Structure 1
Amino acid sequence: MLAIHARYRGREIRRAQLVRRSAEALSTLNGVGEFEILGVEDICAVVDSPAALCDTVMALLSDGSWAIGIGVAPGSTDEDHTRASATGALRGSVRAGTVKVAISPKGSSTLESDIAAVFALMGHVLSKRTIEGREATSLVRSGLNQNEAAEELGISKQAMSQRLQAAGWQAETAGWGLAVNLLTRANAGATD
């Protein structure tokens, strides 16, 4: 079982409203349960699959204002326990853009650090993205091919290709696949 806990670390004055709206929006992602609002800055949800978890983490990393805890409880059906693992991953002070992982019962610390590392790398790619790059990658991620995305933006296929390259689309795609694979292993109870 997988869960995610996110803590808002941005500078929004009306953070409680932003956190509530974010919880509502994230709950609409495929495979994501309803986000529970925990206080003013924290939200937590159970997630159905490694792919849905990666999509959720990517959305939070794209915003740049969230610290993220991932809880993995292989073979568990206890949602409260899995949520507690995600919450436990965020113990102490954490900065925006940080992803921490807790596998429960205590799993491989190497696997935990590998998952955190791949999200750190993807977070770096996302933080360097321009508005044009975000538009291009969003369209391709939604299922459009490059020609369709270029037409949607009113640009040439070559310009679309250049935007995707500058936005680090290949690195994001590779990182996303690696994160899904690592989370799948962790959720299956791998120990190495």
Structure 2
Amino acid sequence: MLAVHARYRGREVRRAQLVRRSAEALSTLPGVGTFDILGVEDICAVVDSPESLCDTVMALLSDGNWAIGIGIAPGSPAEADTRATATGALTGAARAGTVKVAHATRRNASLSGDIAAVFALLGHVLGKRTLEGREATSLVRSGLNQNEAAEELGISKQAMSQRLQAAGWQAETAGWQLAVHLLTRADAGEVT
């Protein structure tokens, strides 16, 4: 079982409202359970799959104002245990853009470190993206091909290709697939 715990680290004056709206929006992602609001800055939810977890973490990293804890509890039927593992991954001093990973059995530190490293790299790619790059990758991620996305933006296919390249789309795709693979191994209880 997988869970994500996120702590808002931005400077928004109306934090509670922003955190509540973020929790509501993230809960609409496929495979993501309802985000519980834990205090003013913290939210936590169980997710159905490594893919759903990656999508959630990527959304939080794209915003740039969240510290993220991932909890992995293979074979655990108790959502509370998985949520507690995610919460335990997130230390009080966690900075925005960081991803910490905790495995319930504590015997998978190497794999947990690899997962955190992949998300650190993905966070770097996402943080360098321009508004145009965000628009382009968002359309392709939603299922449009490059021609359809270019048409939607009113640009040529060549310009769309250039935007995707400048936005690091290939690196994002490769990193996302690696993160899913590592999370699948960790959730299956594989020890490295």
- TM-score, with normalisation over the residues of structure 1? 0.99
Q: Tell me how far 1:157 sits from its aligned partner.
A: 0.1
Letter in 1 for 2:44: C
Q: Any stretches of 5+ residues in structure 1 without a counterpart?
A: none
- Mapped partners of 2:107, 2:30: distance in 1: 27
Dislocated runs of 4+, deviation >6 Å:
none
Alignment length (residue pairs): 192
Question: How many angstroms does 1:75 deviate by?
Answer: 0.6
How much does 1:91 deviate?
2.0
Give 1:5's aligned residue: 5
Partner of 1:56: 56
Name the amino acid aligned to 1:78: A
Identity %: 81
Task: Quote how far apart the aligned CAs of 1:35 are.
Answer: 0.1
Map 1:1-192 to 2 at 5 A: 1-192=1-192
Give the alignment's Cα RMSD to 1 decimal: 0.4
Counterpart Cα distance in 2 of 1:149 and 1:70: 32
Kept after mapping to 2: 8 A contact 1:107/1:191: yes
CA contact (8 A) 1:5 1:42 kept: yes
- CA apart distance, 1:34: 0.1
Q: Deviations over 1:116-157 (max 9, x none)?
A: 000000000000000000000000000000000000000000
Alpha-carbon offset, residue 92 of structure 1? 3.0
Q: Taking structure 2 as the reference length, what is the TM-score of the superposition?
A: 0.99
Give secondary structure in 1 for the equivalent of 2:54.
helix
Whole-Å separation in 2 of the counterparts to 1:21 and 1:181: 30
1:105 Cα deviation after fit: 1.6
SS in 1 for 2:102: strand
- Report the AA paired with residue 14 of structure 1: R
**Local SS of the residue matching 1:13:** coil
